[in-house]
Structure 1
Amino acid sequence: MNSDFVIASHSLVLLANLPGHMANSETIAENVCTNPARVRKVMSTLRKNGYVKTKEGIGGGYILSCDPEKTTLSQIYLTISSGSLKPHWCTGDPEQACVISSNTQGVMDQIFNEAELHLQSYLNQITISGVLARIKNLEENL
């Protein structure tokens, strides 16, 4: 999992909660507690995939263009972070004669692929609106 997924999810939940469902990168960045340039990079990916639109000029920003009741965290994960569970490096060497060294990488790849499928299945049960509801529920219970 990478932080871009969290930034994307946080940004979409924020937009879903705002009147007009719109905010600029500075407002989103302040809420997410990160740099506006980083927000713009993540939002660019979301825009290319139809989750947000942009309004140019003064008073412009990002506008939620997906249905928060139907958009799942799995969809956002697949857009932003697919494959991020698997490390970029794995132990072992498929060319070695040792059965452990030559097969660990392939087995670990299978394990990470299975874990990703389980993660996607879980995230598919949670919508943007569901995250917003959890946040509001948490706030009410404080």
Structure 2
Amino acid sequence: MNSEFTLAVHSLTYLALHPGQMATSNAISESTAVHPVRVRKVLGLLRKQGYIATKEGCGGGFILQVKPEDVGLHEIYKITSEGTLIPKCTPANPDCVVGANMKNTLTTIFGNAEKQLESFLAGYSINDVAMLVKKQPSKQISEIVSEL
């Protein structure tokens, strides 16, 4: 899995928790602690898929275009990370039983794992993530430091 998945989920959750409001890439960038250019790249991908809309100029930004409960995490995984679990195998010796079969074997195993992951993620929506985020207690920096 790559960081585009988590950045997309974070961005969509941010927009879901600010319904009907435009959010700038800078505001989302501050929330994600990721450079605005990377945020805009992922937001562009989400826009192309119809999850968000954009408005340029003063008062512009990004806004959620769909209901948060209609966006499954498996959908976001597919557009940002599908295939990333498949191992990258180096060329191996085709005359060796292990070398000749390792790539296909690992591809099958990890392909099945990816299908299981997608099935698991299908049980969660952006709305679920937003509700879980809202349930988490907010901690002040002083509270976190005192726990260390």
TM-score scaled by structure 1?
Answer: 0.92
**CA shift digits 1:52-97 (9 cap, x unpaired):** 010111110011012101211001111111111123x21452x521
**CA shift digits 1:30-64 (9 cap, x unpaired):** 00000000000000000000010101111100110
1:28 match: 28
Asked if 1 retains the 8 angstrom alpha-carbon contact of 2:29 and 2:36, the reply is: yes
The one-letter code of the counterpart of 1:128 is I
The one-letter code of the counterpart of 1:104 is M
2:103 match: 105
Give 1:19 shift: 4.2
Aligned length: 139
Structure 2: gaps of 5 or more residues = 139-148
In structure 2, C-alpha distance between the alignment counterparts of 1:85 and 1:96, rounded to whole Å: 24
Q: Name the % identity.
A: 44
In structure 2, C-alpha distance between the alignment counterparts of 1:129 and 1:19, rounded to whole Å: 12
Asked if 1 retains the 8 angstrom alpha-carbon contact of 2:22 and 2:59, the reply is: no
Q: Is the partner of 1:62 in helix, strand or coil? A: strand
1:90 match: 89
Q: Is the partner of 2:59 in helix, strand or coil? A: coil
2:134 match: 136
TM-score scaled by structure 2?
Answer: 0.88
1:1-142 mapped onto 2 (5 Å cutoff): 1-87=1-87, 89-91=88-90, 93=92, 96-139=94-137
- CA RMSD across the alignment: 1.6
